[in-house]
Structure 1
Amino acid sequence: MKTNLSRQVAVATVLSSMLLIGSGHAQNAGGDDLLKMQQNPANVVMPTNTYDNQRYSKLDQINAGNVGKLQVAWTFSTGVLRGHEGGPLVIGDVMYLSTPFPNTVYALDLNNDGKILWKYEPKQDPNVIPVMCCDTVNRGVAYGDGKIFLHQADTTLVALDAKTGKVVWSVKTDDPSKGATGTEAPMVIKDKVYVGVSGGEFGVRGWLAAYSVNDGKQVWRAYSEGPDNEILVDPKKTTELGKPIGENSSLKSWQGDQWKIGGGGTWGWYSYDPKLNLIYYGTGNPSTWNPKQRPGDNKYSMTIFARDPDTGEAKWLYQMTPHDQWDYDGVNEMILTDQQIGGKMRHLLVHFDRNGFGYTLDRATGELLVAAKYDPAVNWATKVDMDKSSETYGRPEVVAKYSTQHNGEDTNTQGVCPAALGTKDEQPAAFSPDTGLFYVPTNHVCMDYEPFRVSYTAGQPYVGATLSMYPAPGGNNMGNFIAWDAKAGKIVWSDPEQFSVWSGALATKGDVVFYGTLEGYLKAVDAKTGKQLYKFKTPSGIIGNVMTYEHAGKQYVAVLSGVGGWAGIGLAAGLTDPHAGLGAVGGYAALNDYTSLGGTLTVFAIPAS
């Protein structure tokens, strides 16, 4: 039987990686062991599920034929309100999860319906809350070397003993008084843990850094902008679209010292290819949002980086939105797959950018293979130039009407699609190797954008734009959940949603895809057709990431509910001005009629017949 086979594989993996001891707690396991541990579908050992960020599970007890029988198995209140934007880990008999500020971490006993084994409650200065753009979220914890890693809102990276919750070490990664915050989920590779930074709306210069899992010492740090030696690029070796970057440096793309407060945050998701030994991530918006104040391409904001995780040196990079005028951060996840394209098997990287284009690149070389709109409403650019002989190869062809500056002057621009929160924000997509399709939660939202001049003061907002958001033309739905063919650059099917789909997707071998809605529904749809198979209303809106695990031979599905994030910031922070929340409060005002604040883990299973 499939169940017995999957359990045999699980047991073998557990033994080989020394994952468990008799009590069910985690043993010491280095980053190399995570390669083995992620092969066991019973567990979820990292925030991305696996290094390739596919968010796919081989578990199939719950499938398209029986998912309609799902029932709530148990629940757990986190004790914290505002946006729950992460997801739990499961290692053996223990579940680990974190909350929004104050970033409480729980270890729950799966043998006892989530009994609390230990709780870590960091003592953080509440003054960090006002410098957290777009809610007080945290996207989860990471595991490695017998430790649980958390990047706190105040930019403290802490390592906790996975058995006891006691602090093993902690280190400060940046300065919240200047607007830097920690919201992303760390990633452990080999003997290092990787974290980035939020704060582009406060002029924080983005970076990705590696720390020793053993003692917390910084191994390397690569900035998003600045001198080559600080970005860790080699002009002769680092390539963009197949050519060495040469003298096309970051400094030449900024006016004066603007790069020092240039943004390029790194608060999204990270991926890793162990065979190529490359870590992938994207950088966020340049600062300020007013493009007139930062002439040039503003390299390397809005950029996909492929780096050597041991040294930090960049092998290749690709800037998707040069001289961003709309806040189209490039931090969304990089999904790694191996597929045939153009009659050739390729090592692919697929990225659904905020700017509304879905990109397919060769992840070994950075060659751009596909760039296509994954929402028909996208209008700020007509296309990405795919002519390799062209001087503008790889650049978007911007529609002048939707530029936010004309003749070098600020312009109040209306009807720009997508809105600043993008056709998709950080809410991660999933990929199924069974169907070859990507499952993408999207926003179907447009905006009016009015830039204005702003002065920089450390620790104060450095935005320089006023926004209004509203549904895209052609209907009242603000979101779609789509299936995407990344080789062809086409939508296969699309399920409309009243509000943006702000949760992460999960694909399973049972031919089921799960996602959550801002109203609070957990939904299951057929992976091939998009037909709805199940839905359940959780206590609050879902912006967390659906996950699945197996315990004692039984498959479970779990999700954190707790409305918030950028789309739900009005509810989360009690804001009423329609322009507040960088325009989201007015756009999502109707959410108040459907849900309220909460913080609950809901775990589902199919009851025994």
Structure 2
Amino acid sequence: MTKCLGLVAVLAALGFATQASANQDVQTLASDPANWAIQSGDYSGHRYSKLDQINASNVGDLRVAWTFSTGVLRGHEGGPLVIGDVMYLVTPFPNVVMALDLAHEQKILWKYQPKQDPFAAAVMCCDTVDRGVQYAEGKILVHTADTSLIALDAKTGMEIWKVKEDDPKNGASGTGAPLVVKDKVIVGVSGGEFGVRCYITAYDLNSGHRVWRAYSMGPDADMLIDPDKTTSLGKPVGKDSSLKTWNGDQWKIGGGPVWGYMAFDPALNLVYYGSGNPSTWNPVQRAGPGGKRIDQKWSQTIFARDADTGIAKWVYQMTPFDEWDYDGVNEPILTDLDIDGVKRKALTHFDRNGFGYTLDRVTGELLVAEKFEPDVNWATKVVTDKSDPQYGRPLINKKFSPFETGTDDVTKGICPSSMGAKNQQPAAYSPLTSLFYVPVTRLCMDMEAFKVSYQVGQPYVGATLTMFPAPGENGNTGAFIAWDGAKGKTVWSKPERFAVWSGALTTAGGIVFYGTLEGYLKAVDQKTGKELFKFKTPSGIVGNPMTYMHDGKQYVAVLSGVGGWAGIGLAAGLTDPEDGSGAVGGFASLSSYTGLGGTLTVFALP
């Protein structure tokens, strides 16, 4: 007995006793490749499946196995979960949750439609999307448009508990997928375009009781930042690190939404996520005393937080004093990478601003920052030399700075556009190649900032945008690329007619799946990018492909339903090119290739 206890202590000290610090149910389910138990596939966010029944040699033979209509005609982001014989999915607003019996012809076991104030849809920035449900310990967790977090009985669909995070009448909304870590459900709130001071909250899985809440900006106590122990690029952030970088009380309406996919490292007990844009988009209004640039921390930041307490261990800000709406919410992907001959516990993040970042996820040290989209021009580089006083900061090209141009003047030719070089659509990682597979948007923009007054619950944007294809792309506005995170280099790139707004899925079969805005589900070879399969689904794909196994057969499923920011013109019937913050003009020809829909399409080999 003494020897066993001693061994446990040694393993814990070496970091091997990791399972106990995760939610054991979620960890066990996610480790079985027959399931798809987390929106990101696993806690590391790899979106990788060990299934290989469908592989590079036979994927061209895929056929439609079955389809299912969700009954909602808006943007279908996220994807379904599969736990054993049951598939769970949620629609865009009104956020209907459904359970399908895979063992009995996909019979609908139950439906749950939350009661919401219809006003919630009016304050959703970029379509009425929802990025998916989460499962844990017999519960389905859903985050609804009105910022409610709801726990349902997975067998019956009956409501177990419900908490209301915020009020849509304040401009707050909920679109992000929850993450279950240990005995907590973690979720963030959106509202950066409405001047909401946003935050992330952990709730008790069994009761819905709030455990901790951390704001994106403000006093240290509100942000759960320890000025002496929380670090940025290896140095303590110091007292009032956020308050010192805002002008007066601007932080109270500072934005910093949290709606992207999160990751968790059980060995380190750290939750990783990104915060979004500061409010307003007009940088002149957000300038510091004397009209100077000011960082406005901690918007546009990757946070590493202790799962139990919420205290931030480290932070890294990608785009200080953001002038372009380059939300930093995109997913963190956790891997072990060999960088300059040293094995590092890494975090890789593909930011809206067009740079692919690799950081040490233990310390927050910046290791790699390179452009994954070659047209990026707002900054010339991000400094990665630790001896340089500008270490970690982007070097801004003032020609493409709306702050330099000023209010009511147009800044032309900014790349990427506010949609970013990659938006909400999650990248994937494959251990077969040690490469990341990234959906890319290739749009640039002209931006005109204007003065805007803050009113509770009203848009607080302060800019108009005109979007257009990046130069030299032959009219294509998208691509799908393979990226070497250790070297910061593109290995191969496959152009697409429209921005790739779908997530990626890698499998042990050596293939990568992704969807296109025209509605194609595609499969390509992980090593070469060669297209091996495509099928046009009923509507544009802005959801994330997933895979599961049932009765010995592997299936691949994807939601199609054009929408999201890229497809808002079609989804909401908008026609003015400047509507949808410029998205309507940027995707004017999309209506010639697809239409509205809300369909789950499931594929299998004959």
Is 1:186 the counterpart of 2:178? The answer is yes
- Structure 2 alignment gaps of length 5 or more: 1-21, 288-293
Three-state SS of the structure 2 residue aligned to 1:292 is coil
Aligned equivalents of 1:391 and 1:222: distance in 2? 30
**Contact 2:407 / 2:450 at 8 angstroms: preserved in 1?**
no
Name the structure 2 match of 1:132.
124
Deviations 1:247-268 (A, max 9, x none): 4610010011110100000010
Q: Which amino acid aligns with 1:92?
A: G
Q: Which amino acid aligns with 1:542?
A: I
**Contact 1:74 / 1:113 at 8 angstroms: preserved in 2?**
no
**Contact 2:219 / 2:240 at 8 angstroms: preserved in 1?**
no
Q: Which amino acid aligns with 1:585?
A: V
TM-fit CA distance, 1:234: 0.5
Name the structure 1 match of 2:209.
217
- Structure 1 alignment gaps of length 5 or more: 1-29
TM-fit CA distance, 1:31: 2.4
TM-fit CA distance, 1:112: 2.1
Three-state SS of the structure 2 residue aligned to 1:589 is coil
Deviations 1:82-116 (A, max 9, x none): 10001000000000000000000010001123110
- 1:444-483 correspondence to structure 2 within 5 Å: 444-474=442-472, 475-483=474-482
Name the structure 2 match of 1:433.
431
Aligned equivalents of 2:336 and 2:240: distance in 1? 31
Three-state SS of the structure 2 residue aligned to 1:123 is coil
Name the structure 2 match of 1:304.
302
- 1:39-188 correspondence to structure 2 within 5 Å: 39-188=31-180
Aligned equivalents of 1:182 and 1:370: distance in 2? 32
Deviations 1:208-243 (A, max 9, x none): 100001010000000000000100011100000010
Query: Given the alignment, which residue of 315, 318, 343 partners 2:316?
Result: 318
TM-fit CA distance, 1:348: 0.5
Is 1:523 the counterpart of 2:515? The answer is no
Deviations 1:57-84 (A, max 9, x none): 0000000000000000000000011100
Name the structure 1 match of 2:286.
294
**Contact 1:201 / 1:463 at 8 angstroms: preserved in 2?**
yes
Q: Which amino acid aligns with 2:414?
A: V
Aligned equivalents of 1:110 and 1:293: distance in 2? 54
Name the structure 1 match of 2:326.
328
Deviations 1:131-184 (A, max 9, x none): 001100000000112100001000111000000000000010111101100000
- 1:355-366 correspondence to structure 2 within 5 Å: 355-366=353-364
- 1:249-264 correspondence to structure 2 within 5 Å: 249-264=241-256
Name the structure 1 match of 2:17.
none
Aligned equivalents of 1:248 and 1:152: distance in 2? 33
**Contact 2:50 / 2:507 at 8 angstroms: preserved in 1?**
yes
**Contact 1:149 / 1:157 at 8 angstroms: preserved in 2?**
yes
Three-state SS of the structure 1 residue aligned to 2:103 is helix
TM-fit CA distance, 1:473: 0.1
Mean CA deviation greater in 115-124 or 64-73 = 115-124
**Contact 1:263 / 1:284 at 8 angstroms: preserved in 2?**
yes
Aligned equivalents of 2:406 and 2:72: distance in 1? 46
Aligned equivalents of 2:520 and 2:360: distance in 1? 36
Distance 1:415-1:165 versus aligned 2 partners, 3 A rule: same
TM-fit CA distance, 1:389: 2.0
Aligned equivalents of 1:160 and 1:247: distance in 2? 41
TM-fit CA distance, 1:37: 1.7
Mean CA deviation greater in 247-256 or 476-485 = 247-256
**Contact 2:97 / 2:111 at 8 angstroms: preserved in 1?**
yes
Q: Which amino acid aligns with 1:602?
A: T
Aligned equivalents of 1:119 and 1:568: distance in 2? 27
Deviations 1:478-518 (A, max 9, x none): 00000000111000000000000000000000001000000
Query: Given the alignment, which residue of 375, 381, 384 partners 2:382?
Result: 384
Aligned equivalents of 2:469 and 2:478: distance in 1? 8
**Contact 1:541 / 1:563 at 8 angstroms: preserved in 2?**
yes
TM-fit CA distance, 1:391: 2.0
Aligned equivalents of 1:175 and 1:277: distance in 2? 31
TM-fit CA distance, 1:407: 7.6
Name the structure 1 match of 2:563.
564
TM-fit CA distance, 1:130: 1.2
User: What is the percent sequence identity of the aligned residues?
Assistant: 69
Aligned equivalents of 2:406 and 2:582: distance in 1? 24
Name the structure 2 match of 1:12.
none
Three-state SS of the structure 2 residue aligned to 1:522 is strand
- 1:252-291 correspondence to structure 2 within 5 Å: 252-291=244-283
Three-state SS of the structure 2 residue aligned to 1:111 is coil
Deviations 1:526-572 (A, max 9, x none): 01000000000000000000000000111000000000000000000
**Contact 1:32 / 1:189 at 8 angstroms: preserved in 2?**
no
**Contact 2:282 / 2:407 at 8 angstroms: preserved in 1?**
no
Aligned equivalents of 1:410 and 1:592: distance in 2? 32
Name the structure 1 match of 2:604.
605
Deviations 1:426-483 (A, max 9, x none): 1000000000110000001100000000000011000000000010000210000000
Name the structure 2 match of 1:424.
422
Q: Which amino acid aligns with 2:494?
A: D
Q: Which amino acid aligns with 1:49?
A: G
TM-fit CA distance, 1:380: 0.5
Aligned equivalents of 1:230 and 1:408: distance in 2? 33
Deviations 1:19-63 (A, max 9, x none): xxxxxxxxxxx9222122211010011111100000000000000
Aligned equivalents of 1:215 and 1:101: distance in 2? 25
Name the structure 1 match of 2:19.
none
Distance 1:439-1:258 versus aligned 2 partners, 3 A rule: same
TM-fit CA distance, 1:378: 0.4
Three-state SS of the structure 1 residue aligned to 2:581 is helix
Mean CA deviation greater in 379-388 or 416-425 = 379-388
**Contact 2:405 / 2:411 at 8 angstroms: preserved in 1?**
no
Aligned equivalents of 1:594 and 1:387: distance in 2? 46
Aligned equivalents of 1:225 and 1:243: distance in 2? 19
How many residues get paired? 578
Aligned equivalents of 1:330 and 1:410: distance in 2? 26
Query: Given the alignment, which residue of 370, 391, 394 partners 1:393?
Result: 391
TM-fit CA distance, 1:383: 0.1
Aligned equivalents of 1:37 and 1:70: distance in 2? 26
**Contact 1:157 / 1:170 at 8 angstroms: preserved in 2?**
yes
Q: Which amino acid aligns with 1:269?
A: Y
Aligned equivalents of 2:283 and 2:513: distance in 1? 38
Q: Which amino acid aligns with 2:460?
A: Y
